[in-house]
Amino acid sequence: MQNWLNKARSYLAAALTFSLLLAYVASGMATKGFGYFVLLFIAGLIFTGSGLLLYAAYKGAERQGGTFRLLQLAYWLAAFSLFCYYLQIDFFWTKLAGENAQGTAERLRQIIQIVYFSGFAVALISLLVATAVKTEARHAQGAVLTLGGLLLFLVSLNYWSHIRPAAVDMTMMRKFSLSPESRELLKGIEGEVRITAFYSQNFFSDLYRDTDLLLRDAVSANSKISYTFVDPLREKELADQKGVDRIGTILVERPDGNEVEKQGEAGGKKQRAKNSTTFEILDEDGIKRFERELISNIVHVAGKKRNIYYSQGHEEKSVSGNFKDDTIATFDENLRALRHHLKQLSPAEGFPVKMPQADLVLVLGPRRDFTPAEKATLKKYFEDGGKLLIALDPESPADFSFLLSPLKVKYARERVHSDMALPPGKTTLQSMNYSEHAITAPFVKRPEERKLTIFPGAGYFETSNDTTALSAADYDVNYFLLSHFTSWIDKIPNGVRDDKKEPIASFKIGLAAKSKKNAGRLIFVADSDFIVNKFIYMHQNMELAARMIGWLIEDEKLTGVVAGKYDDEKVKLTGIKDTLVFHLFLYIYPGLILLTGFFIVRAKRRRMSDRAGSH
């Protein structure tokens, strides 16, 4: 009998290891069916039998040896880990914490899961060491406990980084974090904004994590923004109270207002108050447009919406057309993302008999002149404190001297040429020269490569000598856009500069005028193609256009570039691979490092003992 026990004792560590691995495999099974219970039953039998054998095979002085102590440590650690595992499974946890456990209870459950995994890891280390040590390893148990403590520290550190991840965006364009433009917009939010993301972490874990990272980045840009996650399956009453009935809905609201519910005429549809809005992120494609949706909705609830009118009827730049590159669709989308009300300045609005309530009028690239009645209405609108953005090509017959003459400015209808131009030709100007003005203030301080703007085929402005013009003393005029100092006017139309007849200079290609009597503001740019799709994302054109709008409507803080959808793909892992990577970095790598260190120290101590004995 004793011989049988001695033989069985040699397989005790292997039996305990096998039972632990079976229990671990069972805990990782997605479906808790017949196979799950069979694995747990076999693991339980082997584990129980190993415990009985442990105390039957080792007696008396043998229980003082390092092998027994390691096996005993592994056995009771495994028993405690199994208890923690059974405690956190749905069958028992819902009875202890309730069906709708959230917050602290859910975090406690995660901690119990970590204790369960950590106990298994330390138990496995103890069993591996037990197979290698002899009876002289009386201090092996203390060494394993030290290693276990270090392992628990590393596991806790990994777990903390898992629940509080610090994202480092390594992409060149930083497309997995909020863009600098978005962060600048968020910094301009003055009131409190609350974001509630309705996700079930059990079913949308990847989206939950990606959304959490991006929302955390938004909160870091402005402390007045806060967010929380709600599981609509467990907190159905709160979801119903907010009018949310779908997982993946993100609610953005101002907490100082009240949400209202109104019964619609067609069947009781809930309507939300103006100080709240929602959008949905349901898949990976939704994450790609998340930044745009988030910023747009925050600005919607926190900003002031303006009525912006496009002039029409004079072959202006259009939002749509046969050639998308020649449209202003991207510029228009950015204005809509900022939630401004965009309309057409048409007879339906009373124009030109009267001017509608417009916060801003855009006249972008007209190819036909305005009628006298239209000019008179626009002039009165500006003189009464209205705001205008006019972008006009030098080839256009449209005449805006009725606005420029009071400023003592003349529009010269000749294209500026420059050695600092994009090919082909010399007329697609690259400008990096700006005067001191609120619109171009950020550009002036930047390095050259980050302040370039493109103007394809621009005219220029001259100071008018018209003695019949009214005094310009009532206006502050700033030529904030200037061409490069290597520019010239091609008097001899051959595209090549003549040193004697065509001197180089820096020409005025954009002006900003501000009335001293009222709120009237005017921006006039001697080119309209700088905002078409082909050029608007070249260098800083989009930012320049956005800053023009912000200056005109006197809201630079909440007017900027709203990031669009990106096309990059993240690395995608299957559920099994994701689980494998999770456990690899959380347990296996730290365990292997500690185990290697243990054997190295043990071998070093043995060599030192051998040397001491030889002397």
- What confidence score (pLDDT) does residue 146 get? 61
Q: Which of 112-116, 451-455, 495-499, 542-546 has the lowest mean pLDDT?
A: 112-116
Domain count, the chain: 3
- What confidence score (pLDDT) does residue 337 get? 86
Strand partners, 428: 422, 456
Given 299, 323, 350, which residue is the final one in a domain? Answer: 299
- What confidence score (pLDDT) does residue 32 get? 66
Same domain, 272 and 323: no
Same domain, 506 and 382: yes
Q: Is the pLDDT of residue 525 over 90?
A: yes
Q: Is the pLDDT of residue 80 over 60?
A: yes
pLDDT band at 268 (very low <50, low <70, confident <90, very high): very low
Same domain, 326 and 455: yes
Given 299, 323, 356, which residue is the final one in a domain? Answer: 299
Same domain, 331 and 280: no
Given 299, 322, 340, which residue is the final one in a domain? Answer: 299
Q: Which of 261-265, 416-420, 577-581 has the lowest mean pLDDT?
A: 261-265
Assess if residue 144 is contained within a domain.
yes
| Residue 257 token pair | 């207002």
Same domain, 482 and 397: yes
Sign of the dihedral defined by the CA atoms of residues 536, 542, 548, 549, in that order: positive
pLDDT band at 262 (very low <50, low <70, confident <90, very high): very low
Q: Is the pLDDT of residue 368 over 80?
A: yes
- What confidence score (pLDDT) does residue 564 get? 60
Question: Mean pLDDT throughout 19-35?
Answer: 75
Mean pLDDT of all residues in the chain? 81
Residue 38 domain boundaries? 2-167+573-614
In 361-405, where does DSSP find H-type helix? 372-383, 401-404
Reported pTM: 0.62
**How many angstroms separate the CA atoms of 434 and 283, rounded?**
44
Question: Mean pLDDT throughout 251-261?
Answer: 66
Same domain, 233 and 377: no
pLDDT in tens, 190-216: 889 999 999 887 777 778 888 888 888
**How many angstroms separate the CA atoms of 41 and 60, rounded?**
32
Same domain, 291 and 330: no
- Yes or no: say if 115 and 84 are a contact pair by the CB < 8 Å rule: yes
pLDDT band at 259 (very low <50, low <70, confident <90, very high): very low
Assess if residue 557 is contained within a domain.
no
Assess if residue 320 is contained within a domain.
yes
- What confidence score (pLDDT) does residue 165 get? 52
pLDDT in tens, 554-609: 887 666 666 665 555 455 555 566 667 766 766 677 777 777 777 777 777 777 77
Q: Which residues of 359-390 are buried (b: 16+ CB within 10 A; e: fewer)?
A: bbbbbbbbeeebeeebbebbbebbeeebbbbb
DSSP 595-613: HHHHHHHHHHHHHHHHHHH
